[in-house]
């Protein structure tokens, strides 16, 4: 009906137009069971950096209508354009037009590095912020991480009726009769892509919302993810409540948890505030970790140094470990003395995995009595260990060491500790107060700038912990990043338990409605540097991320105050973490085909290889025939004549886990990758081009 209304508005005869509208309203009275909403005109993204050219799509700059034109002819400073709906031809000043990409149009994204912060030079873990419309960013992330994401946490626009979000570059307010329908169409497009990112075997989608759209959202999630298990939690975020005009004050919001595969809620060590109607006697006690790594990065090629045998006598007595063996070496070829049984890190499906610790770290835990062996059964045995959280409780005296077992492991007494549990679905937790630990905490990091309604840092940390506490290498994505709370919470969680979780944030660079009015009065427009520096990505999300990592606020001063609750320490300490800030742009397909966009695509290849080490660059340099980057765990061959040298170099370094081969020959590619059976390999630029061509076709609606 949105499309029909747009067409009816073009009927010049007012009487006829009104009669037609009345008849269509009658036709709308019939209802179907379930959630029914309009599939609106495709959304579009303004491409301020892409010059207006013949054949491209464009809109009138700062126009409030959704009319899209095809540029038919350029004459000096003017452009002759044709309306894509009506076919009407009009002439515009070229500078009054902005190139756009409609959702469903072919796009070939790249990443332009804007900034980075490195506060952990010895770590290869890098978090990422991408400035982009999240739809196009999700298309890129599908190419990079389809089926590999452990957790998606999003806080989308709540569609309250205020000017809090845009559809087709115009604010949607309470007077828009299609407000709910546009919001659902907007969400559906993005959730379809998000589903492709999630690991179907074990992952979770977490969505926060308030009462304006929670019913619609719940039905949409049920329709889109029928195979998943879903639950909703009510969480108090402001005990005083927020005033509603002649209505009850709003004190809470809702959190949907959509769980896929075997994903379940973890029992956590929680304060009595979480107990609700759960009796203390029902709490879990001591929880040990499995020495066999699970989840992301849990296979042999991910951490070769953690693939080694643990040795036992035939009666199950532990005797030591063997050395790690290189990728490509068959474990069955390793000989052991008679009477010795070698236990390797093998998953239930028979695939080769890795231990949680390298050989030295494992031996250290054994010497401290913090490794626990089960009963040997053939060449299999359960091996558990005391995670850092348990070790801390021992250090803090919450768990007592009451003796030693015969095998040298300690006996841990947890009888005086409350233990962990799963709470009920009504949360009223002090640390989740959005004013104290969202707004005020943000101001401590950014005293000179404001962001409306940020989440409590500790609320997001708790929500993540329920699902990734047992996944120290989890990949977490938030494509409605806002002020960047999700990345901040991920870094805090890693700090508390020694995890290596990686977070990817996506946000556009919109300015607020009021800010836009002020900037417009100053003669500025979207795309101008002085406009863009006030956008959310550059003015809030990235500055907050840098402040959290460095411990220095946006005024250049040490951040005041402490992190609280689970562990108290100064915010000025910062985090041992690294992050990089990208802007998503669009490439010309034919330039990619010709291999002219190597430098632009290098950050994309780095992300696909896992974001290890600082993002490499080749700015202004000739495209290399081969590029071998052990610190980034990837290697790229662009000149086939150098293959032998490239192959020899790659085979010498087990750190090189991802291999890119630039070739137009499918047979040549197959022949070359046969030398790298233990690595992840991709054919460029075909792999990249085919992905976005196919995805574009799949996003078109019938």
Q: What is the DSSP string of 345-396?
A: -B-TTS-BB-BSS-HHHHHHHHHTT-EEE---BTTB--EEE--HHHHHHHHT
- Number of Cβ within 10 Å of residue 259's Cβ equals 19
Ordered DSSP codes for 369-380: T-EEE---BTTB
- Number of Cβ within 10 Å of residue 265's Cβ equals 14
**Distance between CA atoms of 26 and 660, rounded to whole angstroms?**
59
Q: Could you tell me which residues come within 8 angstroms of residue 697 by beta carbon, excluding any fewer than 6 positions away?
A: none
Which tens digits make up the pLDDT trace of 465-486? Answer: 999 999 999 999 999 999 999 9
| For the chain, domain boundaries | 1-30, 40-102, 124-269+438-575, 289-413, 581-699
The answer to whether the CB of 460 falls within 8 A of the CB of 554 is no
Tell me: pLDDT of 457 over 90: yes
**Distance between CA atoms of 57 and 79, rounded to whole angstroms?**
12
Range 303-326 average pLDDT: 95
Ordered DSSP codes for 686-698: HHHHHHHHHHHHH
The third-level CATH classification (topology) of the domain covering 124-269+438-575 is Rossmann fold (3.40.50)
pLDDT for the residue 175: 76
Q: Which strands form 626-629's sheet, in the order they lie side by side? A: 626-629, 634-637, 658-662, 680-684
Tell me: pLDDT of 80 over 80: yes
The angle subtended at Cα 615 by Cα 630 and Cα 455, nearest 5°, is: 130
Helix (H, G, I), strand (E, B) or coil at 651: helix
Local confidence band at 697 (pLDDT 50, 70, 90 cut-offs): very low
Q: Given the structure tokens 């034109």, which residue do they identify?
A: 69
Average predicted confidence (pLDDT) for the chain: 90
Local confidence band at 702 (pLDDT 50, 70, 90 cut-offs): very low
Helix axes 457-468 and 485-497, enclosed angle (nearest 10): 60
Q: Percentage of the chain surpassing pLDDT 70? A: 93
The angle subtended at Cα 596 by Cα 593 and Cα 600, nearest 5°, is: 105
Q: Which strands form 289-290's sheet, in the order they lie side by side? A: 289-290, 383-385, 371-373
Highest mean pLDDT among 43-52, 55-64, 599-608: 599-608
Task: Give the per-residue SS3 of 167-236.
Answer: ECCEECCCCCCCHHHHHHHHHHHHHHHHHHHECCCEEEEEEEECCCCHHHHHHHHHHHCCCCEEEEEEEE
The angle subtended at Cα 55 by Cα 53 and Cα 57, nearest 5°, is: 80
Strands (E), 86-157: 89-93, 97-102, 109-118, 127-131, 151-154
Which CATH number among 3.10.310, 3.30.70, 3.40.50, 2.30.30 corresponds to the domain 40-102?
2.30.30
Q: Could you tell me which residues come within 8 angstroms of residue 175 by beta carbon, excluding any fewer than 6 positions away?
A: none
Range 563-588 average pLDDT: 94
Local confidence band at 309 (pLDDT 50, 70, 90 cut-offs): very high
Dig out the tokens for 494 from the structure: 């890693």
**Ramachandran sector of residue 230 (left: φ over 0; alpha: ψ -120 to 50; beta: rest):** beta
* Maximum C-alpha span of the chain: 98
pLDDT for the residue 57: 93
Which tens digits make up the pLDDT trace of 153-209? Answer: 999 998 887 777 677 667 787 777 788 888 999 999 999 999 999 999 999 999 999
Helix (H, G, I), strand (E, B) or coil at 683: strand
pLDDT for the residue 31: 47
């Amino acid at each position: 009906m949105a499309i029909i209304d747009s067409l009816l508005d073009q009927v010049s005869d007012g009487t006829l137009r009104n009669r037609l509208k009345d008849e269509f309203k009658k036709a709308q009275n019939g209802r179907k069971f379930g959630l029914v909403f309009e599939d609106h005109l495709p959304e579009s993204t303004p491409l301020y950096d892409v010059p207006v050219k013949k054949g491209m799509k464009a809109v009138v700059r700062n126009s409030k209508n959704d009319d899209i034109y095809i540029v038919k002819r350029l004459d000096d400073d003017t452009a002759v354009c044709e309306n894509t709906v009506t076919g009407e031809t009009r002439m515009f000043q070229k500078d009054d037009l902005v190139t756009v990409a409609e959702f469903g149009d072919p796009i070939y994204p790249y990443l332009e590095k804007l900034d980075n912060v490195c506060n952990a030079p010895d770590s290869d873990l890098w978090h990422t912020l991408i400035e982009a419309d999240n739809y196009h960013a999700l298309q890129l992330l599908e190419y990079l991480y389809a089926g590999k994401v452990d957790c998606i946490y999003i806080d989308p626009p709540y569609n309250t009726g205020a000017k809090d979000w845009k559809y087709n570059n115009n604010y949607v307010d309470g007077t828009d009769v299609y407000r709910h329908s546009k919001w659902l169409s907007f969400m559906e497009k993005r959730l379809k892509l998000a589903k492709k990112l999630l690991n179907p075997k074990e992952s979770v989608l977490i969505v926060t919302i308030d009462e304006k759209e929670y019913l619609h959202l719940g039905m949409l999630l049920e329709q889109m993810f029928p195979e998943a298990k879903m639950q909703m939690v009510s969480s108090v975020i402001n005990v005083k409540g927020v005033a509603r005009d002649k209505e009850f004050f709003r004190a809470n919001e809702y959190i949907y948890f959509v769980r896929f595969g075997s994903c379940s809620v973890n029992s956590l060590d929680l304060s009595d505030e979480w107990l609700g109607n759960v009796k203390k006697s029902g709490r879990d006690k001591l929880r040990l970790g499995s020495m066999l790594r699970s989840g992301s990065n849990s296979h042999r090629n991910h951490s070769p140094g953690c693939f080694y045998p643990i040795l036992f006598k035939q009666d199950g007595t532990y005797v030591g470990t063997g050395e790690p063996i290189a990728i490509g070496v068959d474990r069955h070829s390793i000989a052991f003395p008679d009477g010795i049984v070698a236990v390797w890190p093998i998953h239930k499906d028979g695939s080769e995995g890795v231990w949680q610790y390298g050989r030295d770290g494992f031996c250290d835990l054994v010497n401290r009595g913090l490794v626990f062996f089960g009963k040997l059964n053939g060449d299999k045995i359960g091996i558990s260990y005391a995670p850092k959280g348990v070790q801390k409780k021992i250090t803090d005296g919450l768990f007592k060491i009451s003796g030693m077992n015969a095998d040298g492991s300690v006996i841990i007494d947890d009888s005086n500790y409350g233990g962990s549990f799963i709470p009920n679905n009504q949360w009223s937790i002090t640390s989740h107060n959005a004013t104290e630990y969202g707004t005020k905490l943000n101001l401590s990091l950014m005293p000179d700038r404001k962001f409306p309604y940020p989440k409590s840092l500790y609320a997001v940390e708790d929500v993540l912990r329920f699902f990734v506490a047992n996944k120290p290498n989890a990949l977490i994505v938030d494509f409605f990043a806002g002020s960047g709370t999700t990345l901040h919470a991920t870094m805090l969680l890693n700090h508390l338990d020694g995890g290596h979780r990686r977070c990817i944030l996506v946000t556009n660079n919109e300015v607020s409605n009021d800010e836009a009015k002020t900037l417009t009065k100053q003669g500025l427009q979207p795309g101008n540097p002085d406009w863009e520096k006030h956008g959310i990505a550059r003015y809030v999300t990235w500055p907050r991320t840098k402040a959290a990592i460095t411990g220095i606020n946006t005024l250049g001063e040490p951040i005041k105050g402490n992190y609280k609750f689970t562990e108290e320490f100064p915010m000025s300490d910062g985090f041992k973490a690294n992050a990089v800030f990208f802007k998503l742009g669009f490439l010309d397909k034919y330039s990619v085909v010709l291999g002219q966009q190597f430098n632009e695509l290098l950050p994309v290849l780095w992300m696909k290889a896992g974001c290890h080490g600082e993002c490499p660059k080749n700015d202004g340099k000739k495209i290399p025939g081969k590029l071998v980057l052990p610190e980034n765990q990837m290697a790229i061959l662009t000149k086939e004549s150098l293959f032998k040298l490239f192959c020899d170099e790659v085979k010498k370094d087990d750190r090189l886990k991802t291999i890119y081969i630039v070739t137009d020959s499918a047979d040549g590619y197959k022949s070359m990758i046969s030398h790298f059976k233990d690595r992840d390999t991709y054919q460029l630029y075909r792999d990249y081009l085919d992905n976005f061509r196919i995805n574009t076709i799949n996003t078109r609606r019938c």
